[in-house]
Structure 1
Amino acid sequence: MYAQSALAIVLLARSATAKVCMNMTVPVDISARTGVFNIAVPQTNLDATTFIQNQTQQGRNFTEFALLDYATTSGRYNISTQFCMPSAGNATNPTIQILTHGIGFDKTYWDLPYDNCNYSYVDVATDAYNYYTLSYDRLGIGNSSHGEPLNEIQSFLEVAALAELTMMLRKSIFPGVTQKFGKITHVGHSFGSAQTYSLVNMYPDISDGIVLTGFSMNGSFVGFFGAGGDFIQANLNQPFRFGKVDTATVLAVLNMFSLTDLVAGVNAAPGLDYPNGYLTNSNINANQYLFFLPGFFNPCILLASEQTKQPVTVGELLTLGSLPAMNAYAGPVLVITGSNDLPYCGGDCLATGDPAIASIPATVAKNFPMVSPSNFTAYIQPNSGHGINFHYNATGAYAVINSFLNSKGLMSI
């Protein structure tokens, strides 16, 4: 079930003046309490639709309905990481940002190669602000270990992996990394923000500062995300990337989708063999609805997003809302969300219904009772949907994030 443990280091440098990165596969031994759900793993696309219908029915908590018991899941898993350092990495007391992607993406969300890397958060954090970064494929996704999609690959097992990566850096035992870090911060997107939120509640001293992008604590609109994605089996949607390609699969895809779906990832490296129960949004139209604000993105990056998208497990979907109402963390918190974010703002983050409330993300302040008002900031990124990094003004959001961390004394020195 688990991939073989290995450490593979590849040095990457785009130019003599660009950041320097290492790709590493890091084994982690982790354990977490996971839910035992008394439902069948979806086996067909119709099963996947039924699952989403159950999840999005108003007045019904399908997670609570399907939950049978809890169990402890333990194992050794491989996590695919990218560690990057500034081209002028001469800080004596550097700070590292740990970057956690959301649903639909892998670690490349933070370092998009599209358009000469003008959409790379990592480029800005490293060479404009002198931070080190660690991005990674969340457990179950991309080149990290995959697993059983219902009762294994769930939110809190992934949080355990994030905690272990963080402690390796704290203890200076991260494979292949010789730097010692004075401060460690965490930046998440969407589901990655939810995992960052859970991480610092479970371990309040693990992070010196957190940034929650594409986030609020308002779950009223998450059903829009589930329904709008038209989620189906990933291995049928893009069989060359996500499944085992055989005649039956090709015929099935031809009958259901366009040629674009069939050939997506035909040149991708093999190995992303996802079993049934790993779901993905159905097509480029759904991708736009979930993550993009029309008129404020390059259509070519939407196509690139569709060709590089990643799935989500049914276990993740059942546990993504398992967040404590009150968080024990007391450090600096920035919440930055696109003005027209779908799942956390219903498409309009300023439509609060109360003139005394500046924005929906601003209400997250009450969930951090230990954080002083001076250490909490909610910022609405204009002209952006849920996938902030994909919009024309993404670099503006990058500046807000890194300037916030700098203002809290978290810069590398």
Structure 2
Amino acid sequence: MLRTTLATGCSPKNPAVSYYNALAQTFYPPNGECSDFYVPISLDYEQPEFTATKWSNSFELQDFLSSLTARPGSNNLTALTGTKRTKGEFEIAASFCTPRVKKDGKEKIVIVATHGIGPGRAHWNPSFRPNDFNFVQFALDKGYSVFFYDRLGCGASTKIDGFDTTLDTAKVVLQSLAKNIKKGKYTGKIKAKKVVVMGFSFGSYTTHKAIAETPEIADAVILTGIGLNETGINLNGLVRSFVPRIANVENPALYGDRNNGYLTWPSVFDLIMNYFKAPSFAPETAEWAESAKEPFSAGEFLTFASPASISADKWDKPALHITGERDYIVCDGSCPGIFEEPARTLYANAKPLQLTIHPGASHHLNFHTNATGAFGVITDFLSKNGL
């Protein structure tokens, strides 16, 4: 049974405290009919186990990070060893939007969107300059329906132990949601004829692993902010550039409901370092993204690119990978020359595979000045492939 809330379109009066932790969205596209609800979900899965000493304060976290990123071969810390079985009952905060007017059959094509590390589901449906940055509004205008949700530990979804959630947690959640949407659940009167799974960053690696294991959950895949060439993923550099801090220490009013396993970066400049590239963004856009940030779990951060080498050879349907030309997180600042492989090899059976480098943008593809150009690449790809 879904628990729902009315789509009022009203923003909270105190955004510093509750802006993105509420089930109701702060913006509803005027061209859509939207609903917000909680999806109950039961999980039982295997995942890597966090076996390092858990930090209890910021000083211990800093020592953990310095040991983790020391020169290879210098008795580096190993944080995740072996696997453990995880079970539980949770709730996923989700939104579903379908076109208000444009009904030509495409509304039965449902895009299931998974956000990355840093944002929540408002990544796809921002209240800030929606004509420039709102993917949901753009997709609705093209006739598509969109299901988007807060990953576990984020936004209004169930908060779980930050030391006990990894990319595999996100993967099994997506697999469950997509399977049920294909069965006609969670989308009201619109019953999905086709399902497109789409991710951003961590959400793209999650989606990549999900469809590699269970290709039957979707009819097309869109991966944004992804790079499968591991030479472009500078993990030690990212740990340093993110400057991780304990989220409930940085902002106890907003993140006090999460334990010490949840981290965040300290300032907008750390966000810009990893997610934006001048001159293709406006400072006020970065400030908005900073105001909307969500903590990320230690386990997610340590496993975010772990599926990069996994083959998706079972996938024989349309696949689009689109990443910013200057992506700092997955291409170490420059994607040309390393973006195409091993993507072509890992998706050798995709029909078709389209690899697109979006000019000028860094990692936050949805929030650079040419974001609607990227949105157009996505919807054009779906349209020309019969979706």
What TM-score does the superposition give when structure 1 sets the normalisation length?
A: 0.83
Equivalent residue letter for 2:5: I
Q: Where do 5+ consecutive residues of structure 1 fail to align?
A: 244-272, 353-358
Equivalent residue letter for 2:360: N
Instruction: Specify the alignment match of 1:193 in structure 2.
Output: 204
Asked if 1:334 corresponds to 2:315, the answer is no
Residue by residue over 1:46-105, the C-alpha shift from the partner in whole angstroms, topping out at 9 and shown as x without a partner, is 333333334434536999933343221111111011101112252446101011111011
Equivalent residue letter for 2:217: I
In the TM superposition, what are the counterparts of 1:156-195 in structure 2 within 5 Å? Answer: 156-174=168-186, 177-195=188-206
Q: Secondary structure at the match of 2:217?
A: coil
CA contact (8 A) 2:276 2:364 kept: yes
CA contact (8 A) 1:219 1:343 kept: no
Q: Report the alpha carbon displacement of residue 318 of structure 1 after superposing the two structures with TM.
A: 2.4
Instruction: Specify the alignment match of 2:4 in structure 1.
Output: 8
Residue by residue over 1:367-399, the C-alpha shift from the partner in whole angstroms, topping out at 9 and shown as x without a partner, is 123225xx0111111111100111111000000
Instruction: Specify the alignment match of 1:119 in structure 2.
Output: 133
Instruction: Specify the alignment match of 2:346 in structure 1.
Output: 367
Equivalent residue letter for 1:360: F
Distance in 1, Cα, partners of 2:68 & 2:310: 21
Instruction: Specify the alignment match of 1:254 in structure 2.
Output: none
Q: Report the alpha carbon displacement of residue 308 of structure 1 after superposing the two structures with TM.
A: 1.2
> Which one of the candidate residues 205, 218, 225 is aligned to 1:207?
218
* CA gap 1:91/1:47 in 2 versus in 1, 3 angstroms: farther
Q: Secondary structure at the match of 1:157?
A: helix
Equivalent residue letter for 1:392: T
Distance in 2, Cα, partners of 1:58 & 1:333: 37
Equivalent residue letter for 2:305: G
Residue by residue over 1:120-177, the C-alpha shift from the partner in whole angstroms, topping out at 9 and shown as x without a partner, is 01100111x1000011111111111111111x21111211111111122111132x62
Distance in 1, Cα, partners of 2:68 & 2:228: 18
Q: Report the alpha carbon displacement of residue 227 of structure 1 after superposing the two structures with TM.
A: 1.1
* CA gap 1:172/1:117 in 2 versus in 1, 3 angstroms: same
Instruction: Specify the alignment match of 1:238 in structure 2.
Output: 251
CA contact (8 A) 1:210 1:333 kept: yes
In the TM superposition, what are the counterparts of 1:25-44 in structure 2 within 5 Å? Answer: 25-44=38-57
CA contact (8 A) 1:209 1:331 kept: yes
Q: Secondary structure at the match of 1:114?
A: coil
Q: Secondary structure at the match of 1:282?
A: coil
Equivalent residue letter for 1:326: S
Instruction: Specify the alignment match of 1:376 in structure 2.
Output: 353
Q: Report the alpha carbon displacement of residue 12 of structure 1 after superposing the two structures with TM.
A: 4.7
CA contact (8 A) 1:56 1:223 kept: yes
CA contact (8 A) 1:52 1:226 kept: yes
Residue by residue over 1:303-331, the C-alpha shift from the partner in whole angstroms, topping out at 9 and shown as x without a partner, is 11111111111111222233153112221
Asked if 1:402 corresponds to 2:387, the answer is no
Q: Secondary structure at the match of 2:271?
A: helix
Distance in 1, Cα, partners of 2:49 & 2:75: 13
Bigger shift: 311-320 or 207-216? 311-320
> Which one of the candidate residues 150, 153, 161 is aligned to 2:165?
153
Instruction: Specify the alignment match of 2:120 in structure 1.
Output: 106
Q: Where do 5+ consecutive residues of structure 2 fail to align?
A: 10-26
Q: Secondary structure at the match of 2:229?
A: coil
* CA gap 1:98/1:293 in 2 versus in 1, 3 angstroms: same
Q: Secondary structure at the match of 1:147?
A: coil
Asked if 1:325 corresponds to 2:339, the answer is no
Asked if 1:307 corresponds to 2:313, the answer is no
CA contact (8 A) 2:243 2:270 kept: yes
Distance in 1, Cα, partners of 2:30 & 2:134: 15
Distance in 2, Cα, partners of 1:213 & 1:63: 32
Instruction: Specify the alignment match of 1:74 in structure 2.
Output: 87
Instruction: Specify the alignment match of 1:248 in structure 2.
Output: none
Q: Secondary structure at the match of 1:8?
A: strand
Distance in 1, Cα, partners of 2:146 & 2:73: 40
Distance in 1, Cα, partners of 2:31 & 2:115: 23
CA contact (8 A) 1:31 1:157 kept: no
Equivalent residue letter for 2:259: P
Q: Secondary structure at the match of 2:331?
A: coil
Residue by residue over 1:316-351, the C-alpha shift from the partner in whole angstroms, topping out at 9 and shown as x without a partner, is 12222331531122211111000110111111112x
Instruction: Specify the alignment match of 2:13 in structure 1.
Output: none
Q: Sequence identity, in percent?
A: 26
CA contact (8 A) 2:222 2:378 kept: yes
Q: Secondary structure at the match of 2:321?
A: strand
Instruction: Specify the alignment match of 2:281 in structure 1.
Output: 297
Distance in 1, Cα, partners of 2:75 & 2:304: 12
Distance in 2, Cα, partners of 1:305 & 1:289: 13
Instruction: Specify the alignment match of 1:343 in structure 2.
Output: 329
Q: Secondary structure at the match of 2:96?
A: strand
Distance in 2, Cα, partners of 1:50 & 1:398: 41
CA contact (8 A) 1:38 1:68 kept: yes
* CA gap 1:21/1:6 in 2 versus in 1, 3 angstroms: closer
Equivalent residue letter for 2:297: T
Q: Secondary structure at the match of 1:343?
A: helix
Distance in 1, Cα, partners of 2:105 & 2:161: 43
What TM-score does the superposition give when structure 2 sets the normalisation length?
A: 0.88
